[in-house]
Amino acid sequence: MQIAILTPFPGTPLYDRLLAEGRLIEPERWDLCTLFDVNYRPRKMSVEELRSGIRWLRLYGAEETAARRRPFFTGLRRRPEPRPAA
């Protein structure tokens, strides 16, 4: 699962709609198309509420990432080395 900020990429219907509604903050800013930057005004919350909400989820920090990876490595055994042919 990946959670990301809705991102209006230039040239998409979403971008065109938000541009027409005057909701894009900085049009044509490809560097803000990271899936983690907010470059539009949400309808029912402020930009800062959206930013703080994604931070509140605490999904992408180093500690959180390490904690999510740990179960994948728990209980794994090394495969035995292949024996040389006789």
In tens, the pLDDT along 48-78 reads: 999 999 888 877 677 877 777 777 767 655 5
- Domain definitions of the chain by residue range: 13-70
In tens, the pLDDT along 14-36 reads: 999 999 999 999 999 998 888 88
- In contact, 72 and 59? CB cutoff 8 Å: no
- SS3 of 29-49: the string is CHHHCCCCCCCECCCCCCHHH
